[in-house]
Amino acid sequence: MILIDDPAIVAEVTAMADRYEAALMANELETLDALFRDAPETIRYGVGEMLYGFAEIAAFRKGRAGGSPQRRVLRRVITTFGTDLATVNLEFQREGATRIGRQSQTWVRTDEGWKITCAHVSLMADVS
C-alpha cells in the first residue's frame, strides 16, 4: 500500500512549492526553469497557452514581459504519494481582479531533486 502524505515528504514539497511561488512573484526565470523537469514530456497549460516540453515553457517565460501577474494564494492543497510523487493544487486571485484562478502541478523526485513535470493554470468565469 502506498503511503500518502508522509509528513517529511509533505514538508519537502511544501518548501519547493513555496520556492516556486516566490520565484514566480519575483519573475526569477532561472529559478523557475530550475524547478521544471528539463524534458520533452514536461507540459504546462496556461491561461492562454499550451506548452509542450521544457524548451517551450522556458521560451514562454523569457518572452513574457513583466512576468506573471501578481497574485494572492487563497488555498493550497499538497498531497504526496510515496516518496517520489506529489501534487500541489491552489486557488489564487490576481491583484485587482475578481476572478479566481486555479493552478495544479505534478512534482516528481528526480536525481536532481523535486521537479514539476506537469502544470495547469486557469481562471474561473467572472462572477461579478
Please compute Rg for the chain using Cα positions: 15
Residue 91 lies in a domain: yes
Work out how many domains the chain is built from and give that number.
1
Query: Looking at residue 79, which CATH number applies to its domain?
Result: 3.10.450.50
How many CA atoms are closer than 13 Å to the CA of 95, on its beta-carbon side?
5
Q: What is the pLDDT of residue 107?
A: 98
Residue 70 lies in a domain: yes
Domain membership of residue 128 (yes or no) is no
Report the pLDDT value the prediction gives residue 61, as an integer from 0 to 100: 94
Please identify which residue in the block is written with the cell numbers 526565470: 29
In a domain, 1, yes or no: no
pLDDT less than 70: residues of the chain = 127-128
**Percentages (nearest 5) of helix, strand, coil residues in the chain:** 30, 40, 30
- Answer whether residue 71 is part of any domain: yes
pLDDT of residue 128: 60
Q: Output the average pLDDT for the chain.
A: 96
pLDDT digits (tens, 9 = 90+) for 39-50: 999 999 999 999
Q: How does pLDDT run across 31-40, given as a tens digit for each residue? A: 999 999 999 9
Cell of 26: 519575483
Closest CA to 106 of 61, 39, 29: 39
Which pLDDT score is estimated for 16? 98
For residue 2, is it within any domain? no
Global confidence as pTM: 0.94
* pLDDT score recorded for residue 126: 80
Task: Give the domain range for residue 77.
Answer: 7-123
